[in-house]
Amino acid sequence: MSNDRQFDADVIVVGAGPVGLTISNTLGMNGIRTILLERGDELIDYPRAIGMDDECLRTLQGIGMAERVLPHLTPNHWMRFVTKSGRCFASIEPRTDVFGWSRRNAFNQPLIDRELYAALDRFDCVDVRFGHDVMRFEQDAEGVTLDVKRSDGTTTSLRARYLVGSDGGRSPIRTALNVGFGGFTDTSKWLVVDIRNDPLGTPNIYMHCDPSRPYVSGALPDGIRRFEFMIFENETEEEMTQPHNMAMLMAKVLPPGADPEKLDYIRKRVYTHNARIADRWKIGRVMLAGDAAHIMPVWQGQGYNTGMRDAANLGWKLAYVVKGIASDKLLETYQLERPPHAKAMIDLSVTAGRIFSPRKAYVVAARDFATWVLNLVPPLKRYFTEMRFKPMPRYETGLVVRDIEIPADPSIGQLARQILCKTPLKRFIGKKSRPGNTKANSPVGQLFIQPKVRTRDGEVKLFDDVLGSGFALVCWGIDPSFWLTPRSREILAAIGGKIITAKPVVQIDRDKDIGPDAIVVGDEQGRLKEWFGQYPGGVAMVRPDRFVAGICYGVQVNELLAQVADKMGLKLGKGAA
C-alpha cells in the first residue's frame, strides 16, 4: 500500500446530501480519513423528500443516529389514494415492524440532513468543506486526483484512494466518466408547494386522483403541509405560481371560504419526474451513489430511501477495503448488488404514477372499477395495505453464499452424499427433506430481521444494538465455536465478527453449552426462533449492512466463513480488527 502522506484522504465524497452525509458518517465510525466536498456554501434548507421507510431508519440506527432523528419523524404515515368522488380505493397502512421501525414515516429532509451533518463532529478523521466545486479529476492505479475550485475563486488539488460521487441527478462526476444515464423524462411537471402553519391539520398523505388535475396533500412534522399539483404541457412555472393561479389551485384543497392570501408559503417549485439509472456504478476507484446513480418519480417516496440503501451498502465496504481487510473484490459487489434493486424501485414508482395520474376518462373509470373489486377480496386488499408489492432488496450475486460447497478435502461421508445427490435418488434425500431450502425461499441476500432481544443484564434492546457495526454469526440455541477451525477464527477476527446466540428468554442464563466468545440474548418476542424455523440452518452470517451473507448448519460454519472470505478478497493478517 502506498505511503499515506501521498493522500489528503482515504476517501473523498462529493455532495453533502443525505447519501454523502451518511457515507461520511459510516467512514467516520470506521476511522477512515474522509473529505466531504459540497459545491454550495451550506446545506440545502428547503423540503425535498418527505417519506422515510424502515430500512432507511435502520441505516441511521446503524450509524448511531436513530435517537437524534426520531423527534423529526411522524411514524405510521399512511398513504391513501382517493378518486375524484372522494372514495379511498387504496390505503397503504403497513403495520409491520419486522426491521425494528415503522415502515412509513413522514419527515422534513432539511432537519435530518442537519442532524447528519452535526454528527460528523464526532469524528476527527472527517473534514467537511463547503464552497468546493470539483472541476476535473483523473484516476490511476493508486488513487484519484481532483482539481477543486473554492467559492472565493482559488483552486486546490486533492488526492484520495477512492472517490464517491453522490452529487445529484445532474452529477458532474458521472458526466465526466461518460457513464450513460438511461431512462425517460415524463412530459408532465408537478408544482410542489410547502406551507407553514398547516391549514388543514389532517394526518397522513392523500393522493387525489382527479383526472382534471391530480394533486397530493401530505401532512409533515412541525405543522408543515406539502401540496403537489400536476402542471400540464402548456403551463409554465412562472404562469402557475402567479397569485391568481395559486388561488385557483389552492381552492381545490382548502375548505370553502379560506383565504389563500393568508397562507405562509415556504416555497413553490416545479419539478419534472425522471426515471433514469446509470449504466455503471463503479468505475475503477470511483463509485456513484444516490441520485447520481438513479432518479425516480416520487410516487412511492423511494428516491431518498434508495439512495440511503446505496450508502448502507457502500460505506462499510469502502472502510474494509481502505483498512486493508478486504480487496477491491469487495467493492465490485456494490456494482453487482445495488443496481437491480434500484431498477425495481424505479419500475414500481413509474407504475404507481400511472395508476395515480391517468389523463383519459376511460382509463380512470377502469381503474376505479378494478380497485373497487379488488377491495372486496381480503388477500388482495392486504397485498396493498401491507405494502407487499414493494420490492425488498434481494441480492442474488455479490457477497452472498447461496450453497455451502463441499470442502477441498471432504470426508468419505461427504463424498458419498455428493455422489448420491447427482443421481435420481436425490429426489428422496437431502434438499427435499429440509424446510424452505429453495432459492426462492432462501433468506440469503435479504435483510435480517430486527426484533427486540433481552440481554443477560435484563435490558431489552433492538437486535442491531447488540450486533454492533461488524459481521456476526447469529445462531439459534447453539454456539458454533465448537466447530471453528483456527483459520475460521482468524477470519472472524479479521472481519470483526461476533457470535450471537439467541435462546428462549427462560434459558438466557444457561451457559453450559456456550463458550466464552458467544454473546447470549433472549428471544424476547419469539421472532428469532420463528425466523430460523423457516430455513435450513441454525447459523446465519449477517453482514455489517444487516443482509444475510449465508446460512448453514453448525457443522458447516467453516465452509461458510471460507466462502465469505473468498468473495470479499479477505487479506488475513492485514488490517485485522
Could you read off the pLDDT of 511-523 as tens digits, one per residue? 888 989 999 999 9
Provide the grid cell at 286: 470511483
- pLDDT reading at 237 higher than 90: no
pLDDT at 399: 98
With DSSP H G I counted as helix, E B as strand and the rest as coil, what are the percentages for the chain, rounded to 5?
35, 25, 40
Classify 412-567 by CATH class. alpha beta
- E strands, 430-547, are 452-454, 460-462, 472-476, 498-503, 518-522, 539-542
Taking a C-beta distance cutoff of 8 angstroms, is the pair 398, 337 a contact?
Answer: yes
Angle in degrees, 0-180, between the axes of helices 361-374 and 378-385, rounded to the nearest 10: 110
Between 341 and 48, the higher pLDDT residue: 341
DSSP class of residue 299 equals T
Q: Which long-range contacts (CB under 8 A, 24 or more apart) does 513-517 make?
A: 513/478, 513/479, 514/479, 515/479, 515/481, 515/482, 517/479, 517/481
- The grid coordinates listed for 62 are 446503524
Spatial separation of the C-alpha atoms in residues 472 and 548, rounded to whole Å: 10
Q: Which of 183-187, 188-192, 265-269, 426-430 has the highest mean pLDDT?
A: 265-269
Secondary structure of residue 412 in the 3-state scheme: helix
End-to-end distance of the chain based on CA atoms, in angstroms?
18
In the chain, which segments carry CATH 3.50.50.60? 4-73+107-179+281-357+364-377
**Statement: residue 294 has pLDDT above 80:** yes
Parallel/antiparallel/unpaired status of strands 215-220 and 205-209: antiparallel
pLDDT at 50 exceeding the cut of 80:
yes
Contact criterion met (CB below 8 Å) for 50 and 107: yes
Q: What's the pLDDT score for residue 127?
A: 98
Joined grid coordinates for residue 296: 425516480
Distance CA 162, CA 568 (A): 17
Q: What percent of the chain has a predicted confidence (pLDDT) above 90?
A: 66
**What is the average pLDDT score of the chain?**
87
Q: What is the Cα Rg of the chain in Å?
A: 26
Per-residue H/E/C for 243-267: HHHHHHHHHCCCCCCCCHHHCEEEE
d(CA 102, CA 356) in angstroms, rounded, equals 24
Cell numbers of 470, please? 461488524
Residues 103, 55: Cα–Cα separation, whole Å: 8
Q: What is the C-alpha to C-alpha distance for residues 251 and 397, in angstroms, rounded to an integer? A: 52
Q: What is the pLDDT of residue 414?
A: 43
Mark 86-122 as b/e (b = at least 16 C-beta within 10 Å).
Answer: eeebbbbbbeebebbbbbbbbbbbebbbbbbbebbee
State the average pLDDT over residues 123-143.
97
In whole angstroms, what is the distance from residue 521 CA to residue 197 CA?
46
Cα(334)–Cα(321) distance, integer angstroms: 12
- pLDDT (average), residues 77-102: 86
**Residue 445 pLDDT:** 97
Do 252 and 213 meet the contact criterion of CB atoms below 8 Å apart?
Answer: yes
Q: What pLDDT, on a 0 to 100 scale, did the predictor assign at position 271?
A: 86
The C-alpha angle with vertex 479 and arms to 543 and 414, in degrees rounded to 5, equals 85
The angle formed by the CA atoms of residues 222, 224 and 226, to the nearest 5 degrees, is 145
Bridge partners of residue 216, in order along the sequence: 207, 228
pLDDT digits (tens, 9 = 90+) for 466-483: 999 999 999 999 999 999
Distance CA 559, CA 553 (A): 10
Where are the CATH 3.40.30.20 domain residues in the chain? 412-567
Which residue, chain included where needed, has cell 394533486?
215
Higher per-residue pLDDT: 135 or 269: 135
Closest to 561 (Cα-Cα) out of 479, 493, 466: 493
- Which of left, alpha, beta for 50 (phi over 0: left; psi -120 to 50: alpha)? alpha
pLDDT tens string 361-419? 656 566 565 665 666 666 655 555 444 556 678 999 999 998 775 444 444 444 344 43
pTM as predicted? 0.89
Q: For 415-430, write each residue's pLDDT tens digit.
A: 344 434 444 434 333 3
The string of pLDDT tens digits covering residues 480-496 is: 999 999 999 999 999 99
**Quick one: pLDDT at residue 220?**
95
pLDDT at 555: 95
CB-based contact 302:316 (threshold 8 Å): no
Contact 431, 347 (CB under 8 A): no
Pick from 362, 218, 361: nearest CA to 298? 218
Q: Are 416 and 429 in contact (CB under 8 A)?
A: no
The tally of CA atoms less than 13 A away on the side-chain side of residue 576 is 13
Fold of the 4-73+107-179+281-357+364-377 domain: FAD/NAD(P)-binding domain (3.50.50)
Side chain identity at residue 467, one-letter code? L
Please tell me the predicted confidence (pLDDT) of residue 577.
38
Maximum Cα interatomic distance, the chain, rounded to a whole number of Å: 86
